[in-house]
Amino acid sequence: MKQPASTRQASRLLSFLTAVVAVALAGCAAPQATSLTHEQPFEQAVAEATDGLVSQTQKLPAFLAKVESKIAKRAVVLDPMLDAGSGQQTIATELFEKRVTERLTTKFDQFEVLPFQSSSLSKAQYLLTGTMTRAPRTSGKGSAINLNLALTDLRSGNVVAQSSAIARDQGLDHNPLPYYRDSPVVVKDKVIEGYVRTTTTTPGQRGDAFYLERVAAATVINEATDLYNSGRYQDALGRYRSALATPAGEQLRVLNGIYLSNVKLGRQTEAEQAFARVVAMGIAYNELGVKFLFNPGSTEFWSDSKISGAYGMWLRQIARESSAAKTCMDIVGHTSRTGSDQVNDSLSLQRASYIRQRLSSEVPELAARTKAVGMGSRENIVGSGTDNAVDALDRRVGFKIVACP
């Protein structure tokens, strides 16, 4: 159906005004990032970080402010927020993005937050990203959380606003969402690292190209992960496969999602094939972190077979893929920060040695191409010391590819 002339004229005027603002902004000095360095309650820190982000988009010359007032709402898509250290989505990061979204849509009329879907990318002007990072508190005991937000122009790839604040870590639930809780591996790959870098990029600079080139695929991955988190495993598997079929879809999050969905559906053969691909990608990236959980203070795998039942298959595939790639690697044991450094160093080395022995029993040639290393708690990813699902990644065994002697 043909649009009325008045509608077409309004649309052309809107496009023209948007272009005028974009060109003018390109010639203006980039705004200064907002950095709030005093520790605040979580809700207040989120509100001030959000307000600081928006204030940077409003610093226009007077004539441009009048022009922009005639432009329709600026559409924003929000790529789900992450814990920067682990790359995971948690209950706390969900709360963070909920509060930011509420603040944007209720206090600032000029913004409209669209669903993180592929159809929204062509309509939106900005991409919003956010991270939480555990940090030492500036005073007293406990910990604090660094909050970072960034708005990136989807067309230019430039970060147009960035803000940060420090929140008290009181009453926040850092348990990972089901996909990350169930994941056998650390899923912080190059895409996640690019997301984190983009969120701390100075206004006026380009966001991480590797991440931004994969945003379209990320929308499909997010849909699949939402389905997995809600227990719709068959639908999740279909969406992960759809993501894998996209040009930028071969990502660790996707292969891991295919593995997890097949496990939930009881498809053990397909799950093992998917895990083999996860391992192969980890080897290609030169590092693979696997969550082997042990009984406290021992080198015995966790007694609950619901948790440790797949470990034999994991070891088999790690051994096979390592052998096929002809790699040499350090097998690095890690512990949470509970306990003394001496005990943790010894325990992490014993566990790495046990994994090395199990791999060598699968593929004897790996005995000469592997070395056990104990790192104790010196390379914690989470660092909470809670010894539960929150810091499960700290009790991992890593496989670091090294040069062969």
Question: What domains does the chain contain, in order, with CATH numbers?
Answer: 31-198 (3.40.50), 214-277 (1.25.40), 286-405 (3.30.1330.60)
Q: What gap in Å lies between CA 43 and CA 95, rounded to an integer? A: 10
pLDDT > 80? residue 60: no
CA-based torsion, 225, 226, 232, 235: positive or negative: negative
- Within 13 Å of residue 186, how many CA atoms lie on the same side as its CB? 30
What per-residue confidence (pLDDT) applies to 377? Answer: 82
Helices (H), 206-340: 209-212, 215-229, 233-244, 252-264, 268-284, 305-308, 311-325
> Does residue 390 have a pLDDT over 90?
no
pLDDT at 299: 86
Tokens of 172: 């926040």
Quick: pLDDT tens for 88-99: 999 999 999 999
Identity of the residue numbered 55: S
Q: Which of 166-175, 252-261, 294-303, 313-322 has the lowest mean pLDDT?
A: 294-303
Distance CA 79, CA 150 (A): 11
What is the pLDDT, as a whole number, of residue 220? 97
Residue 15 pLDDT:
52
CA distances from 31 to 19, 58, 199 (A): 19, 10, 15
Identify the helix (H) or strand (E) that includes residue 374.
strand 370-374
The CA distances from residue 24 to 20, 63, 156, 183, in Å, are 6, 10, 14, 46
Total-model pTM = 0.86
Report the pLDDT value the prediction gives residue 29, as an integer from 0 to 100: 64
Weakest mean pLDDT among 56-70, 169-183, 214-228, 251-265: 56-70
Percent of the chain having pLDDT more than 70?
A: 86
Report the C-alpha gap between 78 and 83 in whole angstroms: 15
Residue 393 has pLDDT above 90, yes or no: no
In three-state secondary structure terms, 211 is helix
Name the helix (H) or strand (E) containing 10.
helix 5-27
What average pLDDT does this structure show over 269-298? 90
Q: How far apart are CA 102 and CA 156, in angstroms?
A: 27
* Number of other CB atoms surrounding residue 312 within 10 Å: 12
Mean pLDDT, rounded, of the chain: 87
Structure tokens at 270: 């397909």
Mean pLDDT of the region 51-60: 85
Which residues of 10-136 form beta strands (DSSP E)?
Answer: 34-40, 74-78, 82-83, 111-114, 126-136
Q: What is the DSSP string of 295-315?
A: -TTSSSBPS-HHHHTTHHHHH
Minimal CA–CA distance to 186: which of 253, 135, 133?
253
Query: Cα-atom radius of gyration of the chain, to the nearest Å?
Result: 24
Instruction: Please give the Cα distance from 167 to 143 (Å, whole number).
Output: 9
Tokens (6 digits) for 152: 């990136």
Mean pLDDT across the stretch 77-84? 97
Averaged pLDDT, 222-248: 97
